[in-house]
Structure formats: structure tokens, C-alpha cells
Chains A and B, each alone.
Chain A
């Protein structure tokens, strides 16, 4: 089901269409929020963002631009005081029993490094590195051109490597 049809059917109350939109765009929303907030908080805000978007679905002007529209909502999300307190546990809240403390610390260091980057790089890198999306997939859900995604990925990765004190990749340097 394409996005336009999903939006139209969701407006008519189709739970299947809601689920389809959620499956398609939850990595985008979660990636944006993960670049701004700790992981547990990003999880909660992702749910809240979709609940808000579904309630306001009639305000969407162009059905085909659902991705760009919900991305704007995600960028405006702010945690409520209750969510903020509950999410103070930071990465401990998402660590499962099998994850070594070193791995959690490493992930924490990388996430903090990404959140320090400019917004365009931060979001694109989160979608690629945490959400596992490819360049074309990122372009499709964000509405950015493939060229912009490619530039953001390479420049962002170069800055991330620098922030983490890693050796620069020659390819990534070509985009500086």
C-alpha cells in the first residue's frame, strides 16, 4: 500500500493503514528522536509522536509528504516531566542482560558524539547507523535528494570519526 493510500485509509480509521504507516516511518521518527534524547526517552517519544500525528492526520495538506510532516512533528517533540524522569536511566534502561557493560559504554560514547553533530548530519547518521537504513531508504522517508543524503552521510561520518578520535576514511574526506 503506498503512502498516499495509507494516509487516506488511516483518515477513515483503518487500523491496518495506521500500522503500515507506523512500520514504514517509525525508524525515521525514532532516528530523529535518538539524535536528541536518550534511548529510553526516544522510545517513549516515538509512540507519543505517532499518537499525535494520527490525531492530527486531517491537518496534513499533502498526503504523499507524510514522512516530511511527521519528521517536523518529531523534531518538535519535547518530553513531559514524567517521561523525562522515567528516562533518566539513560542507556541502562535499554541494556539487556546479555550486553556487556563495555559495549553499553561504547554505545553511549558514540551516541553522545553523534548528538553533538549538526542536525542534518546527526539525523542522517542515526538513520543509517542505528536504524540500519540504506541511503535510498533515507532519501525516500525524509524527502531529501539522494545526493543530499550521500553528502550528509559522508560529511557526518567524517565528523563522527573525528569526534571519536578515529582514523578518517579517504572516501569520506572527499566530501569535505
Chain B
């Protein structure tokens, strides 16, 4: 008998009566006859075998980064900061800066100061800096005069520089600070954000903007390349609103001048003005800011809410900024150099 004619080998071949009876009796019990359905499959989604070493390496790298990050932020209260002084001829002198002590640089001297383990300060010639306090999460210096550049990579508020009665608080960034004998000065943010705190006021300054201050007073942040017409219009508006009248004709005209001279890239100046003085939303500043931010609208409800200082309405436009103050970790390049 060939395979083709063998009914055991080929179910289509004629079978004897007994085999036929057995087949028919068992046929209803087969998987297909029973109509079994596939079980619900939860996809295993495991890594391919070749990816396991990479996954382990990535896991170890993450652990090391986490440990390194914690080590970077840790600092015992009162520990000294290391200082390297550079004289004009290129000579180096190493020292330690203790809390409460000041560091002065001569006219031919600069200094590089390690801010615990979270960054560094470059102190320019003819500058005086005092280490006020240092501990994990709170490192404070006072710039008594001169110029410094601070490059910090740490969560917001870890580092701050006192400048007279105000404090420049780092929100994870790279910034310059100048302070003169008369208490005036200027802060310029190279990357990230700083908060300029004076009294109860907290003025945010983003990357690419500078804020000028005199003792106890702060101006609105401006781009250093802002057209003179725009900068003077902003100063004029600040003076007009400083008189306490945010709705007078002088304010309206000054706001109109600011709006007409503003470029789209001056959006943050407009946002800062409107945030500090919400009543200005009734002026030409509001639609000009909407255009600069690319926000659809001049919605009457939103504008009215802004005018009365509604936080939600104001935040809605702040949220359109490409980089928010809380994203300090994005400025990781500040840790280099």
C-alpha cells in the first residue's frame, strides 16, 4: 500500500469501517472542531537577547549618573570653596574661601572660584566677593563691587548672589553680574534664567536679556540689542506707571510708543511689563504681545482677566515661551568650562 492509499497516512483515502467509526467518533473533539479561540496575549515586549548587555550598561550608567548627581549637590555646611587666582603674568595661586570671608582681586588679577560642586564663578579684576553661606541647597555670595560670571548647574535656588538689597537667584544658568560702588548694576543672562528679588518683587530674567538696577529699584529686562527708541519708551512707561497711575493718558501714550517700537523678539520685555503691571493689558501692549508670541486672540475675556491680575490668564501666555524657568536641567552645557 502506498502512502496515498494508506488511510492512516492520508485521511482522504478510503478507510475500513472500524477506522471510519473511530474517526467520526473523535472528530468533534479536535481543536478546530471545538472552535477554540486564541487566548488574549499580553505582548511580552522583552528586550532581544543581544540588547541585554546594552540595557545593563545603560542601567549601570543611570545609577552612576544618579550617584554622581547626588554627590555633585551634596555639601557640608561651612566647607571652604577652592579659589585659583590668576595674575597678569599667568601665575596661579591656590587658596580656600571660608564663609564670612571676602575675596578681592587686584586690577591685574582674576579669580576662579568653585561653587561647592555645582559650578563656578569667574571674578574679574577690581572686584570684591564675599562668601556669605554655603551648605547643600543654599550657597550664597555677595558681590560688593566689580563683575562676576557664574556658571551653575543645579536646581533653582541653590545659588544666589546678593547685590545690595537685592538678590540674584540662579534658576540653573550662566549669567554675568556687574555692581558699582553706588549700588547700581546690571545682570545679563547667557543661558537659562535668573530671578532678581528685591523686596517682595521677583523679576524673572531669561536667556538673552539684561536687567539694570539701582539700589532698591529694578528696571524691566531688555535685550542688549534693543533699539534705543524701544528702550527709552520702556523707561518712559516705567516712569509713568511708577507715579501710581496705571490708567492715565501718559501711560497710554507711553504704552503705545512701546508697542509701536517693539520687535517680536522683544516679547519678554512686553510680557514682563504686563506681568508686573496687569492693568497695562488695557493698552496697546496686550495685542502687541499677543502678536509677538504668536498667540491667537485678543479674546475679550482673557484680556479682562489679565487686567485684574488673573494668574491663570497671565500664565497661559507665559506657557507659550519656548523654555520655562523650571527646565534648569536643559542648560547642562553650563556645567562645562
Chain A residues within CB distance 8 Å of chain B: 11, 13, 15, 18-19, 22, 26-27, 29-31, 34, 39, 43, 46-48, 50-51, 54-58, 94, 96, 99, 103, 106-107, 110-111, 128-136, 150, 153-154, 157, 160-161, 164, 166-167, 169, 171-172
- Is there an interface contact between A46 and B22, defined as CB atoms closer than 8 Å? no
On chain A, the residues within 8 Å of B19 by CB distance are 157, 169
Q: Tell which of B9, B18, B30, B46 touches A131, judged by Cβ atoms closer than 8 Å.
A: B30
22 contacts between A and B (CB under 8 A): A26-B36, A30-B30, A30-B36, A39-B29, A48-B39, A50-B38, A51-B39, A51-B41, A57-B44, A94-B29, A107-B25, A107-B26, A110-B26, A128-B8, A129-B22, A131-B31, A132-B30, A134-B10, A135-B8, A135-B10, A153-B8, A167-B18
On chain B, the residues within 8 Å of A169 by CB distance are 16, 19
* Known pairs A19-B38, A94-B34; A54 contacts B29 (CB<8 A): no
For the complex formed, measure the closest distance between the CB of A33 and the CB atoms of chain B, giving whole angstroms: 9
Chain A binding surface SS class:
helix
On chain A, the residues within 8 Å of B11 by CB distance are 128, 132-134
Complex CA distance for A74 and B290, rounded to whole angstroms: 68
- Is there an interface contact between B8 and A11, defined as CB atoms closer than 8 Å? no
Interface residues of B toward A: which range? 35 or more
Complex CA distance for A136 and B39, rounded to whole angstroms: 27
- Is there an interface contact between A166 and B36, defined as CB atoms closer than 8 Å? no
* Known pairs A31-B31, A94-B28; A46 contacts B36 (CB<8 A): yes
On chain B, the residues within 8 Å of A11 by CB distance are 44, 46, 48
On chain A, the residues within 8 Å of B181 by CB distance are none
Complex CA distance for A1 and B10, rounded to whole angstroms: 25
Complex CA distance for A54 and B28, rounded to whole angstroms: 27
B42 at the interface (CB under 8 A from A): yes
**Residue picked from B6, B26, B33, B43, most chain A C-beta under 10 Å:** B26
B27 at the interface (CB under 8 A from A): yes
On chain A, the residues within 8 Å of B45 by CB distance are 13
Chain B binding surface SS class:
loop
For the complex formed, measure the closest distance between the CB of B155 and the CB atoms of chain A, giving whole angstroms: 38
**Residue picked from B10, B32, B39, most chain A C-beta under 10 Å:** B39
On chain B, the residues within 8 Å of A15 by CB distance are 41
* Known pairs A130-B30, A153-B9; A54 contacts B18 (CB<8 A): no
- Is there an interface contact between A171 and B6, defined as CB atoms closer than 8 Å? yes
Within 8 A of A (CB), among B39-77: 39-46, 48-49
Q: Which residue of chain B has its CB nearest to the CB of A109?
A: B25
- Is there an interface contact between A103 and B44, defined as CB atoms closer than 8 Å? no
- B1-25 contact mask (Cβ, 8 Å, vs A): 1 or 0: 1010010111100001011011101
- Is there an interface contact between B29 and A107, defined as CB atoms closer than 8 Å? yes
On chain B, the residues within 8 Å of A96 by CB distance are 28
Complex CA distance for A129 and B22, rounded to whole angstroms: 7
- Is there an interface contact between B30 and A22, defined as CB atoms closer than 8 Å? no
Q: Tell which of B16, B25, B31, B34 touches A110, judged by Cβ atoms closer than 8 Å.
A: B25
For the complex formed, measure the closest distance between the CB of B51 and the CB atoms of chain A, giving whole angstroms: 11
- Is there an interface contact between A130 and B6, defined as CB atoms closer than 8 Å? no
On chain B, the residues within 8 Å of A22 by CB distance are 38
Complex CA distance for A154 and B8, rounded to whole angstroms: 7
Complex CA distance for A30 and B90, rounded to whole angstroms: 85
- Is there an interface contact between B31 and A27, defined as CB atoms closer than 8 Å? yes
Q: Which residue of chain A has its CB nearest to the CB of B24?
A: A103
* Known pairs A26-B36, A55-B44; A111 contacts B30 (CB<8 A): no
- Is there an interface contact between B30 and A106, defined as CB atoms closer than 8 Å? no
Top 5 A-B pairs ranked by shortest CB distance? A30-B31, A13-B43, A135-B9, A130-B26, A47-B39
